[in-house]
Structure 1
Amino acid sequence: MVTKTQGGAPVAETEIERKYDLAADRPIPPLVPAGPVTNQADPRVDVLDATYFDTADFRLAQAGITLRRRLGGSDEGWHLKLPVGEDRREELRLPLAGRPDKVPGALAKLVRAHTLGAKLVQAAHLRTERTSYALLDAEGRELATLTDDVVTGEAGGEKAHLDRWREIEIELSPGADPEVLDSLDQAVVSAGAERSRWPSKLRRLTDELVPSPREKSGSVLADYFAAELDALRRNDIGVRRDAEDAVHQMRVSSRRLRGALRTFRRSLDPDVAEGLAAELRWLGGELGPARDTEVMSARLHDEVKALPAELVLGNVEQLMTRHFAREAEEAKARAIRALDSKRYTELLRALEKLVRKPRKIKDGKKELRKAVARSSRKLDEAVAAVRELEPGAEQDAALHEVRKKAKRARYAADTVRPVTGKKLRKWRKNVKAVQSTLGTHHDIVVTREVLRLLGLRAYAENENAFTYGVLHGRSIAAAESEHRRFTGQWQDLGKGSRPKWLK
C-alpha cells in the first residue's frame, strides 16, 4: 500500500516479504504453479548499489531500522525501512537529491529518538546482482515478485567485515491476499531453500558489529520500562509523520512510564524516579493539546450531527472546523518542537540509562505488591473526597483526580502482570471501567468550556450562538449521567474479587 506524499515528505509503502537462504549452485525454486500463481513473467536483471547509514554504534540496526541510499532498479533513491511486524516493514522513500554522503533532513529527523543526536555516517555498502520474476495469476495480475539476489557487502566499524551470499526474496504485491505468501513459502522451502534468520541484508552483514538486542532482564520494572521506551520511540516517528493516533499512543506511553516511576519509586533511586517523572509530565503536557484537540473536535462534530436540523442554526460546522483546524496546527507545531528539543533527547538518554541498570532495581514480589496496594488506597481516598462535595466545579475537579488515581492503579496492575494472578487482572479490568467513565466525564467538562468560547466567538462575528447553548445544556446532563454510571461502577468494584494483599 502506498500513501501519497505531501510537499517534501517521504512516500510510504508497506512491504510484506520473506527472505530465504539458497545455496549458490541451486536453481531458482519453481513457483508455477503454486497456489493462485499460474504464470511467471520474463526475468528482469538489475544491479543495485546501496550505501547504508547508521550511527557509529549502530543504533538504528539495533532497533531494526534500515536507512540507505540506493542506485539502480525501479525505485532508486533514499529509503527508510521501519519494522511493523512479522514479514512486514514500512518503507519511506525520497528521490535522490543533495550530497550522497548526507542523509536528507526529512529522514534524519524521523529517527532522532534513536540516534539521540549522534551523527549518521556511512556504515555499510552492498552491491546486489538481482534477477526478478513477477508471479501472475490466471488473469495476468501480479501477485508477488520473486527475486534472486547475489549480494556482496562491506561494513565498517571498529573492525571491517566483508561477505558474499545468495538469498531469495518473495514480496507480496500491493492488494494481494497474504495467503499467497504462505502458498509460495511452501513451494520455496520444498525446493530446498531455508527461511533466513536475518530480517534484512544489512543485519546479516553487520551481525558481528551490532550489539545484541536487549533480552528480558528478569526485572519486572526494567522490562516494563524498556517496553514502554520502545513504544515511545515508535510513536515518536508516527507523531512526526502525523500518523493517525500516534499522538495519543505516545502520550499513553509517557503516562505509563510516569505512573510506574511514581508508583514504584521506592524500588528505584527516588530522586532519579521523581526527576524522570517530572520530565515525562512535561512531555505529556506538550503532547496534550494535540490529543485534546482531536478528541474535542470529533466529539463536537458528532454531537452537532446528532442534533435535529431545526436546532442547528448558523454556520456551526464551518466555525468549529475553522477553530479546530487552527488549534490543531498550533498543537502539532508545539509537539514537534518538544520532540526536536534537547530536553526531550536528554529524557530519552536518562530512560535508556535506567533500563540498562536492572540490578539496581529492587522489585521482588513483596515490594511490587506493596506499591500496587498503595495505589489502590490512594484511589479509595480520592473517591472518599468526592463524596464530601456538592455538584459543581470542585466536584468535577475531584472526579478528575479519581480518574488520574484510577489510571495510576490500572498502570500499576499492568506493570506487575508477569508476577500476579487472575484476581488482580479482574480488579484491574474494573478499575479500567471506572477510569473510562471518568475519562468521558472529563472530556464533557472540558468540551463545555470550548462550547462557551465558541458561542462567544459566534456572537462576536454576528453569528447565531443558539446551537452552542443547546450543546452546553446537553453536556451538563451528559456529565451527570456519567457521574451516576461511575457511582454504580465503584460499588461493583467494591463488591468484586481482588487479591487479599490488595485490601
Structure 2
Amino acid sequence: MAERHLEIEQKYDARADFVLPELGGLPGAATAGEPETFTLHATYFDTADLRLAAHGITLRRRRGGSDSGWHLKMPAGPDSKQELRAPLGRPGAVPARLAALVAAYTRGEPLRPVATLETRRTVVRLFGGGGALRAEVADDLVTGQDVRDAADAPAQRWREIEVELGDGTPELLKAAGKRLRKAGARRTKASSKLGRLLGDAIVPSDAARARAACKARLVAAIDNGKGPATTGDAVMAYLAAQVGTVTEGDPKARLGEDDAVHRMRVAVRRIRSTLKAYRPVLEDERTEPLGPELKWLAAVLGEVRDLEVLRMRFQERLGGTTPPWLDDLARQERTAYKRLNASLKEPRYFALLNELDRLIAEPPLASAAGRKARKELPELVTRSWDRMARAYASIALAEDAEVARHETRKAAKRARYAAELAMPVLGVAAKRVAKDAKRIQEVLGGYQDGVIAMEHLKAAAARARNTSEAFDLGLLYGWERCEAETARDRLSVTWSQTLGPSF
C-alpha cells in the first residue's frame, strides 16, 4: 500500500540575488531552525503526450533528502495535492500501485521518463510550541531538462521558494507568503516544477477541452445573452460534468477514500439515466451501446458500495462493538474492493472511458438538440415524472409489489436526474421537481436498505457461532424490519405531498 500525505503548499519565483527573509515570529511558528541543504535528483514519468501533466498530476522517482522514493501527486484543492509515496525500487519500473492510480488517464499508454530535475535545496523549518513542526520553507535552485526526445533539450535553470505546511494553519501559510513577497518573491504561475519546465508542451486533453466547452456554451447562453440555450447545450453540459466526475473519481475509488465509490457510481447512473430520459436529443446509434457498459460499471461499483453501506449501518446500530459476523462483512467488502480494482484495469473499462470522452467531444446530437431549452426541457422532465407516477400507481395492482416498488425507485431516480439537468435553465421549477423525486427515491431507498439488511442478517444468523450471537442478530433483524415497514408505509404520505411538474 502506498503511503499517503496531503501536501499543502505555495510556490514563489525568486531572482538569483533574492535573500530569504527572517522567518521567525510568524503566526503559530515562533522559531525558525538552522538552514539545511540537500541535493535532490528526480526523474519525472508521463505518457508521450503528457496526459498526467495535462491534469495537474506528477509522477517522479527522486533520490536525496529525507523522502527518497516514488512520489505521485494529484490535485486535491486550492494549494493542496494528495501525495502518495512508494519505495525507490528499480529506476525505470513505476510501482504498480501508483501506475494503477493514474490508469484512468494513461489508459494503457506506457509511462516513460519525460524530464529530469536536479535541485539544490536549502530548508528552513518553522517550529511552534513544544518543537512541533509547523511548516517548511524550501529555497530551491533548480536545473531541469526535457528528455522526451532523443536529442535532449538544453537545460533550464531557475530559483523558486516553496512553503509547505506541517501542522500549521492557513494563517501561517498566508503570513509566510506575505513576508516572502515583501522581500521580492512572486507567486509562481506554474503548479509544479515539471509544469514550469515543459510549459507550452503541456496542453489540456481533447476530452478536458470538450468538457470545459460544454459548460461554457451553456453558461454563455444563460448568463451572457449570447442567444437562447438549446436543449443540446443543457444535456451536453450535464453529461460533461458527470463524465468528469467519473474520471476524477477513479483514483479516489481505487484508494477507498470516504464516499468515493458512491460518488463515482452516482455519476455513472446519472449518465445512463440521461441517455434514457433524453433520447430525443441524442442519436441512438451512438448512445445505445453505452447502456450495457455503464450498467456493468455501475454493478462493479455497486458491489463495493452496498457492502460499505451495510457495514456502516450495522456499526452505527451496534454502537462501536464489532462481533465476528461484522468482521466477516468487512472481509467481504475488502474482497469486493480487490475485484473493483481488477475491473478498473480491464480494457473494457478503458474503452468505456474513451467512448464517454468521445460522446462529449463529438456529441451525437439529434434534431431535438437544436430546439430552445426553455421550451423543450419542461416536456422531457414531465415525461420522466409521468413515468414515475405510472410506476407508483402500479404498486397497488402489482402481483409482486416488491418488484413494483423497485421499478418505482428507479423511475424516481430518473425523474430526479432529468430535473437536475434542467435546473440551470428552468431554475426553481426544476429544482422543486428534483426535490420531490428525491423524496420518493429516499423513502423507497430506506425500505430497500432495510430489506437488504434483513436478508444479510438472516444469512448471518444461519452461520451464528453461538446462541448469544444468534439472539443479537435476531434483535437487529427486528429493528431493520420495523424501519423497513415504517418507510414502506410512509410512501403514500410522501407521494401525497409532492406537487409534480408545473412549468
Change (3 A) 1:305 1:259: same
Aligned counterpart in structure 2 of residue 193 of structure 1, from 185, 194, 197: 185
Residue 279 of structure 1 is matched in structure 2 by: 293
Cα distance in 2 for partners of 1:402, 1:483 equals 12
| 1:115 aligned residue | 106
SS of equivalent to 1:131: strand
> Counterpart of 2:172?
180
Alignment-derived partner of residue 385 in structure 1: 394
SS for the counterpart of 1:51 is strand
Which residues in structure 2 correspond to 1:257-272 (within 5 Å)? 257-272=271-286
- The aligned counterpart of 1:420 is 426
In 2, Cα distance between equivalents of 1:297 and 1:122: 43
Corresponding residue number in structure 1 for 2:157: 164
Q: Structure 1: how far apart are the matches of 2:434 and 2:423? A: 10
Task: From 245, 252, 274, give the equivalent of 1:231.
Answer: 245
Displacement of 1:462 in angstroms is 7.5
* 2:84 alignment partner in structure 1: 92
Matches of residues 216-227 of structure 1 in structure 2 within 5 Å?
A: 216-217=213-214, 218=217, 219-227=233-241
How far, CA to CA, are the matches of 2:248 and 2:19 in structure 1? 40
Q: C-alpha separation between the residues in 1 aligned to 2:476 and 2:265?
A: 28
Give 2:213's aligned amino acid. Answer: K
Q: Identify unmatched segments of 5+ residues in structure 2.
A: 218-232
Q: 1:199 to 1:220 in 2, by over 3 A?
A: farther
SS in 1 for 2:464: helix
Matched residue, 1:312: none
Q: Deviations over 1:359-417 (max 9, x none)?
A: 84736514444332221121111111123248xxx222222222211111222222233
Encode CA deviations 1:160-189: one digit per residue, 9 max, x unaligned: 47532221111111x222221122222222
Q: Write the mapping of 1:45-444 to structure 2, written as runs, cut at 5 A.
A: 45-98=37-90, 100-137=91-128, 140-157=131-148, 160=153, 162-173=155-166, 175-212=167-204, 214=209, 215-217=212-214, 218=217, 219-304=233-318, 318-358=323-363, 360=365, 362=369, 364-365=372-373, 366-389=375-398, 394-444=400-450
CA 1:123–1:360: 2 relative to 1, 3 Å: farther
Describe the superposition over 1:137-167 as per-residue Cα deviations: whole angstroms up to 9, x where unpaired: 3654331111111222222447947532221
C-alpha distance in 1 between matches for 2:346 and 2:471: 43
CA distance in structure 2 between the partners assigned to 1:48 and 1:280 by the alignment: 45
Q: In the aligned structure 2, how far is the partner of 1:80 from the partner of 1:347? A: 25
Output the amino acid matched with 1:132. Answer: V
Tell me the CA shift for residue 49 of structure 1: 1.3
How far apart in 1 are the matches of 2:35 and 2:431?
Answer: 56
From 435, 453, 458, give the equivalent of 1:452.
458
> 1:121 Cα shift?
0.9
Conservation of the 8 A alpha-carbon contact between 1:257 and 1:277: no
- How many residues align? The count is 475
Letter in 2 for 1:373: T
Residue 5 of structure 1 is matched in structure 2 by: none
1:22 aligns with 2:27: no
For normalisation by structure 1, the TM-score amounts to: 0.87
Question: Is 1:481 aligned with 2:486?
Answer: yes
**Contact 2:422–2:430 (CA under 8 A) maintained in structure 1:** no
| Partner AA of 1:353 in structure 2 | R
Letter in 1 for 2:387: K
Paired residue secondary structure (2:144): strand
* Deviation readout 1:433-479 (Å, 9 max, x if unpaired): 221221111111122222222232238x7876444444434433322
| Cα distance change of structure 1 residues 195 and 233 upon mapping to structure 2, 3 Å threshold | same
Aligned partners of 1:396 and 1:442 also within 8 Å: no
Rounded to whole Å, the distance in 2 between the matches of 1:203 and 1:225 is 29
Q: Distance in 1 between the 2:156 and 2:13 partners?
A: 14
- Deviation at 1:79? 0.5
Say whether the 8 Å CA contact 1:45–1:130 is kept in structure 2. Answer: yes
Query: What is the TM-score with the length of structure 2 in the denominator?
Result: 0.87
The CA RMSD over aligned residues, in Å, is: 2.5
Gap change, CA 1:276 and 1:135, over 3 Å in 2: same
2:315 and 2:133 mapped to 1: Cα distance?
A: 42
| Inter-partner Cα distance in structure 2 for 1:276 and 1:162 | 47
Q: C-alpha separation between the residues in 2 aligned to 1:445 and 1:178? A: 46
Aligned position for 1:309: none
CA distance 1:200–1:305, shift in 2 (3 Å): closer
Give secondary structure in 2 for the equivalent of 1:379. helix
Q: Which runs of 5+ in 1 are unaligned?
A: 1-8, 307-315
Distance 2:120 2:249 in 1: 36
Name the amino acid aligned to 1:134. R
